[in-house]
Structure 1
């Protein structure tokens, strides 16, 4: 039997993306997000308008989509409740977000120069996509709180061990993406780490991460 619960969150399960972008002063910003989908050599990104990443993409028109594996969950969680905005938006402050200008070092990740664009890649991420913004569209109606970005993927970097030998394909048995499911972290079908984001959003989950 189906019910109509009036769901407040519709993150049924999407890959976590660490978006690196360039701030006004030329420094790097790094932000986790999980509203992304790909088709061909293009990607659609859904980003809230309160974040530094949205401002950076609108101004600079470039970004890197870094895909962390599930093993990198701690690095992602370390910056989950941070923002690159020096003046933290009121709503985010109420949820526990704090200003952090050094996102890469806070996450414990390394800046790696891109080939075709200015924002750096996250060296530890097994998959990195250099992108340019094609278009930006207000999302969620006339009082939009988000922006839908269409980005074109200019170059994709993949760890060699993930490629099926002799092909241009990623081995799905070796690639274990970090998945965001209802603000919780999953990998290999299991909850892999407590989520600061779930706490900040007061989610009613009572999850116990799997032990290895």
Structure 2
């Protein structure tokens, strides 16, 4: 039986992304987010207007989307409740946010130069997407939807299906956030007719 209810949050589960952007003084900022979706070579990012990353993207128009494996959950959690903004917005301060200037150091992650954009990549992330901002669109109350284009993808060799330009969906285990909780260790649970129709080159091993 279903119940009609006014849910406070619709946050059913999306991959965690560490967005690296460039501050006004040229230093790097790093922020976790999980409101992103991809189509072809484009991606939409949903960010709150008071966020430091939002200001950086509006000004610099570029970023790196570092896709996080479940094994990096501790690093992501260390960045929670921090902001790159020198002055913490009042509503965030009330939640317990604090300023952190060196996000890479705080998370214990390594900055790695990008090829085409200014912000660095996260060396520990097996998928790194260098992106430019194509557009910024008001979304809901107090948020912005950023349209970005992937200009270069860096993928760990062990995640690439040999002889193809595809990521192995079994080898890639993204960190997922559902209703503000972390999940990982995904397993293939059922054959996909869509994958067959698109001739995806996956070699999946499923439990009997």
Report what 1:48 is aligned to: 48
Report what 1:62 is aligned to: 62
Report what 1:166 is aligned to: 163
Report what 2:131 is aligned to: 131
TM-fit CA distance, 1:2: 1.0
Report what 2:200 is aligned to: none
1:98-113 correspondence runs (5 A): 98-113=98-113
1:63-102 correspondence runs (5 A): 63-102=63-102
Count of matched residue pairs = 187
Report what 2:173 is aligned to: 176
TM-score normalized by structure 1? 0.87
Task: Give the match's secondary structure for 1:56.
Answer: helix
Which consecutive residues of structure 2, in runs of 5 or more, have no partner in the other structure? Answer: 188-208
Point out 4+ residue stretches in structure 1 off by more than 4 angstroms.
Answer: none
TM-score normalized by structure 2? 0.88
Task: Give the match's secondary structure for 1:129.
Answer: strand
Q: For 2:24 and 2:55, how far apart are their aligned partners in 1?
A: 9
CA contact (8 A) 2:161 2:168 kept: yes
TM-fit CA distance, 1:166: 1.1
Summarize deviations over 1:62-112 as a string: whole Å, max 9, x none. 000000100000000000110001110111111111000100110000100
Summarize deviations over 1:154-207 as a string: whole Å, max 9, x none. 0000000011111111111110000000000000259xxxxxxxxxxxxxxxxx
Q: For 1:86 and 1:110, how far apart are their aligned partners in 2?
A: 22
TM-fit CA distance, 1:5: 2.3
Report what 1:2 is aligned to: 2
